[in-house]
Amino acid sequence: MYLNDRNTTAELLHYRALSVRGVLSVEDARNLKIYESGFSGEYLYDKIFDEVGHDNLYIFRDVYLAVGKSGAQYDSIIIADDVITVNEIKNYSDEYYYKNGRFIKNGEVVPDNPFTQVDRAVGKLYRKCRNAKISTEIKSKVIFPNDDFRLYSEDTSIWKNVVIRMDLKKYFRQFKDSYNTEKAGSLVSVIRAHISPNPYFNGRSNVDRLRTGLYCGSCGDFNLIKTRYHRQCVSCGTKESNETHMLRVMSDYKYLFYGEVMTRRSILELIGNEFDKKVVYRAFLKHCDAHKQGNQMYYAFKYYDFDDAYKQTKKFMKHRDYLA
Protein backbone atom coordinates (compact mmCIF):
# COMPACT_ATOMS: atom_id res chain seq x y z
CA MET A 1 0.00 0.00 0.00
CA TYR A 2 1.16 3.52 -0.73
CA LEU A 3 2.05 5.53 2.34
CA ASN A 4 1.97 8.87 0.54
CA ASP A 5 0.75 10.45 -2.67
CA ARG A 6 2.94 10.89 -5.68
CA ASN A 7 2.50 14.58 -6.29
CA THR A 8 3.56 16.40 -9.39
CA THR A 9 7.02 17.63 -8.50
CA ALA A 10 7.62 21.28 -7.67
CA GLU A 11 10.03 21.55 -10.59
CA LEU A 12 7.46 20.30 -13.06
CA LEU A 13 4.76 22.61 -11.67
CA HIS A 14 7.20 25.50 -11.95
CA TYR A 15 8.04 24.87 -15.59
CA ARG A 16 4.42 24.22 -16.49
CA ALA A 17 3.40 27.53 -14.95
CA LEU A 18 6.25 29.27 -16.76
CA SER A 19 5.31 27.59 -19.99
CA VAL A 20 1.70 28.78 -20.00
CA ARG A 21 2.88 32.33 -19.37
CA GLY A 22 5.06 32.10 -22.42
CA VAL A 23 8.56 32.78 -21.20
CA LEU A 24 10.42 29.52 -21.70
CA SER A 25 14.06 29.83 -22.66
CA VAL A 26 15.64 26.96 -24.57
CA GLU A 27 17.03 25.73 -21.27
CA ASP A 28 13.60 25.97 -19.56
CA ALA A 29 11.92 24.13 -22.42
CA ARG A 30 14.45 21.32 -22.11
CA ASN A 31 13.89 21.13 -18.35
CA LEU A 32 10.13 21.04 -18.81
CA LYS A 33 10.51 18.10 -21.17
CA ILE A 34 12.83 16.25 -18.81
CA TYR A 35 10.50 16.70 -15.81
CA GLU A 36 7.40 15.78 -17.81
CA SER A 37 9.10 12.65 -19.04
CA GLY A 38 10.37 11.72 -15.57
CA PHE A 39 6.94 12.19 -14.09
CA SER A 40 5.22 10.09 -16.71
CA GLY A 41 7.79 7.34 -16.06
CA GLU A 42 6.87 7.34 -12.40
CA TYR A 43 3.18 7.34 -13.30
CA LEU A 44 3.76 4.30 -15.49
CA TYR A 45 5.65 2.56 -12.68
CA ASP A 46 2.73 3.19 -10.28
CA LYS A 47 0.20 1.95 -12.80
CA ILE A 48 1.99 -1.35 -13.33
CA PHE A 49 2.51 -1.76 -9.59
CA ASP A 50 -1.24 -1.17 -9.09
CA GLU A 51 -2.05 -3.86 -11.64
CA VAL A 52 0.08 -6.39 -9.82
CA GLY A 53 -1.14 -5.27 -6.38
CA HIS A 54 0.75 -4.13 -3.31
CA ASP A 55 -1.59 -4.27 -0.30
CA ASN A 56 0.90 -6.34 1.67
CA LEU A 57 3.75 -3.84 1.20
CA TYR A 58 4.71 -0.42 2.50
CA ILE A 59 5.65 1.96 -0.28
CA PHE A 60 6.92 5.55 -0.13
CA ARG A 61 6.94 7.53 -3.34
CA ASP A 62 8.93 10.59 -4.29
CA VAL A 63 10.38 11.42 -0.92
CA TYR A 64 13.40 13.48 -0.11
CA LEU A 65 15.18 12.31 3.03
CA ALA A 66 17.47 14.70 4.86
CA VAL A 67 20.68 13.16 6.16
CA GLY A 68 22.81 15.59 8.08
CA LYS A 69 23.55 18.52 5.80
CA SER A 70 22.76 16.69 2.62
CA GLY A 71 20.11 14.22 1.58
CA ALA A 72 18.79 12.15 -1.26
CA GLN A 73 15.76 11.83 -3.47
CA TYR A 74 13.93 8.49 -3.60
CA ASP A 75 11.53 7.70 -6.44
CA SER A 76 10.17 4.67 -4.62
CA ILE A 77 10.99 2.84 -1.40
CA ILE A 78 9.42 -0.57 -0.92
CA ILE A 79 9.36 -2.39 2.40
CA ALA A 80 8.69 -6.11 2.05
CA ASP A 81 9.61 -8.92 4.44
CA ASP A 82 11.13 -6.23 6.67
CA VAL A 83 13.66 -5.51 3.91
CA ILE A 84 13.99 -2.13 2.21
CA THR A 85 14.21 -1.89 -1.57
CA VAL A 86 15.07 1.40 -3.24
CA ASN A 87 13.87 1.86 -6.83
CA GLU A 88 15.35 4.56 -9.04
CA ILE A 89 12.97 5.14 -11.95
CA LYS A 90 14.36 6.29 -15.31
CA ASN A 91 12.00 6.95 -18.17
CA TYR A 92 14.64 6.43 -20.87
CA SER A 93 13.48 5.68 -24.38
CA ASP A 94 15.22 4.47 -27.54
CA GLU A 95 18.66 2.84 -27.55
CA TYR A 96 21.25 3.19 -24.83
CA TYR A 97 24.69 1.67 -24.46
CA TYR A 98 26.36 1.11 -21.14
CA LYS A 99 30.12 1.36 -21.28
CA ASN A 100 32.83 2.14 -18.74
CA GLY A 101 30.31 3.10 -16.08
CA ARG A 102 28.36 5.48 -18.34
CA PHE A 103 25.12 5.45 -20.29
CA ILE A 104 25.51 6.56 -23.89
CA LYS A 105 22.70 7.64 -26.21
CA ASN A 106 23.30 8.57 -29.85
CA GLY A 107 27.00 8.67 -29.12
CA GLU A 108 26.59 11.17 -26.30
CA VAL A 109 27.36 10.43 -22.68
CA VAL A 110 24.39 10.83 -20.34
CA PRO A 111 25.61 13.08 -17.52
CA ASP A 112 24.02 11.27 -14.60
CA ASN A 113 24.62 7.68 -13.71
CA PRO A 114 21.54 6.05 -12.14
CA PHE A 115 23.62 3.27 -10.54
CA THR A 116 25.76 5.78 -8.69
CA GLN A 117 22.67 7.77 -7.73
CA VAL A 118 20.89 4.80 -6.25
CA ASP A 119 24.05 3.59 -4.48
CA ARG A 120 24.39 6.95 -2.83
CA ALA A 121 20.72 6.92 -1.82
CA VAL A 122 21.06 3.43 -0.37
CA GLY A 123 24.14 4.50 1.59
CA LYS A 124 22.25 7.40 3.16
CA LEU A 125 19.41 5.10 4.11
CA TYR A 126 21.82 2.66 5.76
CA ARG A 127 23.15 5.55 7.80
CA LYS A 128 19.61 6.50 8.87
CA CYS A 129 18.87 2.95 10.01
CA ARG A 130 22.17 2.63 11.84
CA ASN A 131 21.52 5.88 13.72
CA ALA A 132 18.11 4.53 14.69
CA LYS A 133 19.79 1.29 15.78
CA ILE A 134 17.88 -0.92 13.37
CA SER A 135 19.82 -3.35 11.26
CA THR A 136 18.26 -4.20 7.96
CA GLU A 137 19.13 -5.22 4.45
CA ILE A 138 18.67 -2.60 1.72
CA LYS A 139 18.38 -3.69 -1.89
CA SER A 140 18.18 -1.51 -4.98
CA LYS A 141 17.18 -1.62 -8.61
CA VAL A 142 17.15 0.87 -11.44
CA ILE A 143 13.77 0.62 -13.17
CA PHE A 144 13.21 1.47 -16.82
CA PRO A 145 9.42 1.44 -17.26
CA ASN A 146 9.37 2.72 -20.84
CA ASP A 147 8.27 0.18 -23.46
CA ASP A 148 10.53 1.72 -26.01
CA PHE A 149 13.80 1.36 -24.12
CA ARG A 150 16.63 -0.85 -25.33
CA LEU A 151 19.86 -1.29 -23.45
CA TYR A 152 23.08 -2.85 -24.65
CA SER A 153 26.07 -3.51 -22.45
CA GLU A 154 29.36 -5.32 -22.64
CA ASP A 155 29.52 -5.20 -18.88
CA THR A 156 27.15 -8.02 -17.91
CA SER A 157 27.33 -7.19 -14.21
CA ILE A 158 24.75 -4.40 -14.60
CA TRP A 159 21.82 -6.67 -15.45
CA LYS A 160 21.26 -7.78 -11.89
CA ASN A 161 20.69 -4.11 -10.93
CA VAL A 162 18.27 -3.34 -13.73
CA VAL A 163 14.59 -4.02 -14.38
CA ILE A 164 13.21 -3.22 -17.82
CA ARG A 165 9.54 -2.94 -18.76
CA MET A 166 9.30 -6.51 -20.00
CA ASP A 167 10.34 -7.85 -16.58
CA LEU A 168 8.62 -5.27 -14.43
CA LYS A 169 5.46 -7.24 -13.63
CA LYS A 170 7.54 -10.27 -12.77
CA TYR A 171 9.69 -8.09 -10.55
CA PHE A 172 6.66 -6.70 -8.69
CA ARG A 173 5.11 -10.17 -8.40
CA GLN A 174 8.08 -11.45 -6.43
CA PHE A 175 6.86 -9.28 -3.53
CA LYS A 176 3.50 -11.04 -3.64
CA ASP A 177 4.10 -13.55 -0.86
CA SER A 178 6.09 -11.27 1.40
CA TYR A 179 4.74 -9.82 4.60
CA ASN A 180 5.89 -7.28 7.15
CA THR A 181 6.24 -7.46 10.92
CA GLU A 182 6.59 -4.70 13.54
CA LYS A 183 10.15 -4.19 12.36
CA ALA A 184 8.80 -2.88 9.07
CA GLY A 185 6.67 -0.49 11.09
CA SER A 186 9.73 0.97 12.76
CA LEU A 187 11.49 1.25 9.39
CA VAL A 188 8.47 3.24 8.20
CA SER A 189 8.75 5.51 11.24
CA VAL A 190 12.45 6.11 10.63
CA ILE A 191 11.83 7.07 7.02
CA ARG A 192 8.79 9.16 7.81
CA ALA A 193 10.68 11.09 10.47
CA HIS A 194 13.24 12.29 7.93
CA ILE A 195 11.02 13.25 5.03
CA SER A 196 11.64 16.89 4.20
CA PRO A 197 11.03 19.34 1.38
CA ASN A 198 13.46 19.07 -1.49
CA PRO A 199 16.05 21.80 -0.98
CA TYR A 200 17.48 21.49 -4.50
CA PHE A 201 14.61 23.36 -6.01
CA ASN A 202 14.73 27.11 -6.21
CA GLY A 203 12.00 28.43 -8.45
CA ARG A 204 13.04 32.05 -8.43
CA SER A 205 14.97 32.07 -11.66
CA ASN A 206 13.63 33.47 -14.86
CA VAL A 207 10.31 34.90 -13.80
CA ASP A 208 10.98 38.56 -14.52
CA ARG A 209 9.10 38.66 -17.79
CA LEU A 210 5.95 36.76 -17.02
CA ARG A 211 2.81 37.28 -18.98
CA THR A 212 0.23 38.62 -16.52
CA GLY A 213 -3.50 37.95 -16.49
CA LEU A 214 -5.90 35.04 -16.26
CA TYR A 215 -5.92 32.18 -18.71
CA CYS A 216 -8.23 29.36 -19.74
CA GLY A 217 -7.71 26.12 -17.82
CA SER A 218 -8.44 23.97 -20.87
CA CYS A 219 -6.56 25.61 -23.70
CA GLY A 220 -4.35 28.21 -21.98
CA ASP A 221 -5.68 31.17 -23.98
CA PHE A 222 -5.53 34.53 -22.18
CA ASN A 223 -8.45 35.97 -24.10
CA LEU A 224 -11.36 35.64 -21.68
CA ILE A 225 -14.78 37.28 -21.53
CA LYS A 226 -15.69 38.65 -18.13
CA THR A 227 -19.09 37.86 -16.65
CA ARG A 228 -20.12 38.46 -13.08
CA TYR A 229 -19.07 35.11 -11.63
CA HIS A 230 -17.18 33.49 -14.47
CA ARG A 231 -14.61 33.96 -17.22
CA GLN A 232 -15.33 32.40 -20.56
CA CYS A 233 -12.61 31.50 -23.02
CA VAL A 234 -13.00 33.13 -26.43
CA SER A 235 -11.10 30.42 -28.25
CA CYS A 236 -12.53 27.18 -26.75
CA GLY A 237 -15.66 28.30 -24.91
CA THR A 238 -14.70 26.83 -21.53
CA LYS A 239 -16.31 28.77 -18.69
CA GLU A 240 -14.66 28.67 -15.28
CA SER A 241 -15.75 30.31 -12.05
CA ASN A 242 -13.74 33.13 -10.54
CA GLU A 243 -12.94 30.85 -7.63
CA THR A 244 -11.43 28.23 -9.95
CA HIS A 245 -9.30 30.95 -11.55
CA MET A 246 -8.19 32.10 -8.11
CA LEU A 247 -7.17 28.57 -7.13
CA ARG A 248 -5.15 28.28 -10.31
CA VAL A 249 -3.36 31.57 -9.91
CA MET A 250 -2.52 30.87 -6.26
CA SER A 251 -1.06 27.51 -7.24
CA ASP A 252 0.86 29.09 -10.12
CA TYR A 253 2.24 31.74 -7.81
CA LYS A 254 3.39 29.14 -5.32
CA TYR A 255 5.51 27.37 -7.93
CA LEU A 256 6.56 30.34 -10.04
CA PHE A 257 7.98 32.06 -6.97
CA TYR A 258 8.64 28.95 -4.95
CA GLY A 259 9.45 29.80 -1.34
CA GLU A 260 8.47 33.46 -1.65
CA VAL A 261 5.58 34.88 0.33
CA MET A 262 2.26 35.58 -1.32
CA THR A 263 0.50 38.88 -0.73
CA ARG A 264 -2.60 40.44 -2.20
CA ARG A 265 -0.44 42.83 -4.14
CA SER A 266 1.71 40.08 -5.65
CA ILE A 267 -1.33 38.12 -6.80
CA LEU A 268 -3.02 41.22 -8.24
CA GLU A 269 0.19 41.86 -10.15
CA LEU A 270 0.27 38.33 -11.56
CA ILE A 271 -3.35 38.52 -12.73
CA GLY A 272 -2.90 42.03 -14.08
CA ASN A 273 -5.63 43.33 -11.72
CA GLU A 274 -8.26 41.34 -13.56
CA PHE A 275 -10.08 40.63 -10.30
CA ASP A 276 -11.25 43.12 -7.74
CA LYS A 277 -8.92 43.19 -4.73
CA LYS A 278 -11.83 42.07 -2.59
CA VAL A 279 -12.23 38.91 -4.66
CA VAL A 280 -8.57 38.10 -4.09
CA TYR A 281 -8.89 38.88 -0.41
CA ARG A 282 -11.86 36.53 0.00
CA ALA A 283 -10.12 33.72 -1.87
CA PHE A 284 -7.21 34.12 0.55
CA LEU A 285 -9.52 33.85 3.54
CA LYS A 286 -11.03 30.69 2.17
CA HIS A 287 -8.02 28.87 0.74
CA CYS A 288 -4.94 30.12 2.55
CA ASP A 289 -3.43 30.31 5.99
CA ALA A 290 -2.90 33.95 6.89
CA HIS A 291 0.15 35.33 8.67
CA LYS A 292 0.25 38.87 9.92
CA GLN A 293 3.42 40.89 10.06
CA GLY A 294 2.71 44.43 11.18
CA ASN A 295 0.20 45.85 8.77
CA GLN A 296 1.21 43.35 6.09
CA MET A 297 -0.60 40.06 5.54
CA TYR A 298 1.09 37.03 4.02
CA TYR A 299 -0.84 34.05 2.77
CA ALA A 300 0.18 30.42 2.34
CA PHE A 301 -1.83 28.29 -0.07
CA LYS A 302 -3.49 25.50 1.92
CA TYR A 303 -3.19 22.88 -0.79
CA TYR A 304 -0.32 21.19 -2.57
CA ASP A 305 -1.25 22.43 -6.02
CA PHE A 306 -4.23 23.33 -8.19
CA ASP A 307 -5.32 19.73 -8.77
CA ASP A 308 -5.26 19.04 -5.06
CA ALA A 309 -7.20 22.24 -4.31
CA TYR A 310 -9.77 21.58 -7.01
CA LYS A 311 -10.39 18.04 -5.85
CA GLN A 312 -10.97 19.19 -2.29
CA THR A 313 -13.12 22.24 -2.94
CA LYS A 314 -15.04 21.48 -6.11
CA LYS A 315 -18.09 20.12 -4.33
CA PHE A 316 -18.39 23.21 -2.14
CA MET A 317 -18.14 25.77 -4.93
CA LYS A 318 -21.26 27.75 -5.59
CA HIS A 319 -20.47 28.42 -9.21
CA ARG A 320 -19.74 25.58 -11.54
CA ASP A 321 -17.22 25.24 -14.33
CA TYR A 322 -18.26 24.39 -17.87
CA LEU A 323 -15.64 22.59 -19.91
CA ALA A 324 -16.06 23.02 -23.63
* Site residues for DNA per CB under 7 A: 227-230, 241-243, 263-265, 275-279, 281-282, 290, 292, 295-297, 317-320
User: With respect to DNA, which residue has the nearer C-beta, 107 or 294?
Assistant: 294
DSSP string for 158-214: GGGGEEEHHHHHHHHHTTTT----HHHHHHHHHHHHHB---TT--TTTT-TTPPPS-
Q: How far is the CB of 94 from DNA (least distance, A)?
A: 47
Q: How far is the CB of 273 from DNA (least distance, A)?
A: 11
Q: How far is the CB of 244 from DNA (least distance, A)?
A: 10
User: With respect to DNA, which residue has the nearer C-beta, 173 or 226?
Assistant: 226
Q: How far is the CB of 262 from DNA (least distance, A)?
A: 10
Q: How far apart are CA 308 and CA 154, in angstroms?
A: 46
Q: How far is the CB of 255 from DNA (least distance, A)?
A: 22
User: With respect to DNA, which residue has the nearer C-beta, 183 or 282?
Assistant: 282
User: With respect to DNA, which residue has the nearer C-beta, 156 or 293?
Assistant: 293
Q: Characterize the bridge pairing of strands 94-99 and 149-153.
A: parallel
Q: How far is the CB of 126 from DNA (least distance, A)?
A: 48
Q: How far is the CB of 302 from DNA (least distance, A)?
A: 16
User: With respect to DNA, which residue has the nearer C-beta, 88 or 243?
Assistant: 243
Residue (of 149, 168, 151, 132) closest to 50 by Cα position: 168
Residue 225, φ and ψ in degrees, nearest 5: -95, 130
Q: How far apart are CA 212 and CA 317, in angstroms?
A: 25
User: With respect to DNA, which residue has the nearer C-beta, 37 or 263?
Assistant: 263
Q: How far apart are CA 42 and CA 145, in angstroms?
A: 8
For residues 302 and 250, is the Cβ–Cβ distance under 8 A? no
User: With respect to DNA, which residue has the nearer C-beta, 98 or 284?
Assistant: 284
For residues 136 and 84, is the Cβ–Cβ distance under 8 A? yes
